[in-house]
Amino acid sequence: MKAFIFPGQASQYVGMGQDLYDKFALAREYFDKADDILGLDLKDTCFHGPEDKLIRTEYTQPAIFVHSVIIDALLKDAGIIPAIAAGHSLGEYSALVSAGVFTFEAGLRAVKLRSQLMQKCCDDNPGTMAAIVGLTFEQVKAVVDSIDGVSPANYNSPDQVAITGTIQGVETACAKLKTAGAKRTIMLAVSGAYHSPLMAYAKEKLAEYLDTAEFGDFGFPVVANVTGKPVDDPDEMKDLLIEQMTSPVLWYPGIESIHAFGISDFYEIGPGKVLQGLLKRSLDSGKYTSRGVDKAEHVNDLIGVKV
């Protein structure tokens, strides 16, 4: 059995998806449809940049979502189907399309709104994030709980936690976390405090949209960011997607849940290798295998293999 894991923001790169568009009719259909739904020049921005445009939240989120869902659909058409899926933040929407909860079109419309709302929060309430290496989630939380405007954002691996909040608050937290024993504190190149109370407006407006959205039945479970546990109930997942906006992403507990599910074979579906890197920090090397499925050549390699 295998798990599909889907990346979130920071996995994008200029040129992403162009080889898929050139080689697969399905990719051309999805990219062209995405441009129509979004009212953006997404395809051209993915293929040609510039990078400072692609890294804007309103472009980044749809770009990664479309790229991931195309690869997922190509593998499904070849009979390569996971037993369980998970997605990191934005990637949770890709995972839900994979599980059949959203159609491509419905998922993209939700991602479009999510990215626009988050961009507005970034513009109205500037914030930032930092990666903390060398401390546990509990150790990081104990420090940042005493600092106004800062909270944990991502529990990525046993010794890597991202924090989020106001610029001053995150800078103060980094100094205190170094004193507490952090090996490294790395300010991240982001324009907002994702998964923090500064996203409250986005959470409120997304809730209004998702309350009226149609969720289908799960073809297989999806591990939720908010709980780190498998979910297969549409109503529960709707609530968790809303909570995800201001709650930390419990990625490492989610990976543990997948492993406990009996899965040792992970496919990272979409751009980059971020999630494979987190797997290396989270599981013993002899207990799992992983591969990235990012480019047309990776898809062709898998389609040619009987699974």
Q: pLDDT tens for residues 80-106?
A: 999 999 999 999 999 999 999 999 999
- pLDDT above 90 for 274: yes
Mean pLDDT (the chain, rounded):
95
- In the chain, CATH 3.30.70.250 covers 128-187
Asked if residues 193 and 129 have their Cβ atoms less than 8 Å apart, the reply is yes
Catalytic member of 98, 195, 247, 257? 195
CATH 3.40.190.10, domain 2-124+196-303, yes or no: no
Q: 68, 89, 94, 282: which is the annotated catalytic residue?
A: 89
67: number of Cβ within 10 Å: 29
The dihedral built from the CA positions of residue 247, 186, 291 and 109, taken in this order, carries a sign that is positive
Question: Within the chain, which residue ranges are assigned CATH 3.40.366.10?
Answer: 2-124+196-303
Question: pLDDT (tens digit, 9 = 90+) per residue, 224-266?
Answer: 999 999 999 999 999 999 999 999 999 999 999 999 999 999 9
Annotation marks residue 89 as catalytic: yes
Residue 306 has pLDDT above 60, yes or no: no
Q: Which two tokens stand for residue 284?
A: 């013993």
Q: How far apart are CA 224 and CA 87, in angstroms?
A: 8
**Domain 128-187 listed as CATH 2.120.10.90:** no
Asked if residue 307 has pLDDT above 70, the reply is: no
* Calpha distance 120→101 (Å, rounded): 27
146 annotated active-site: no
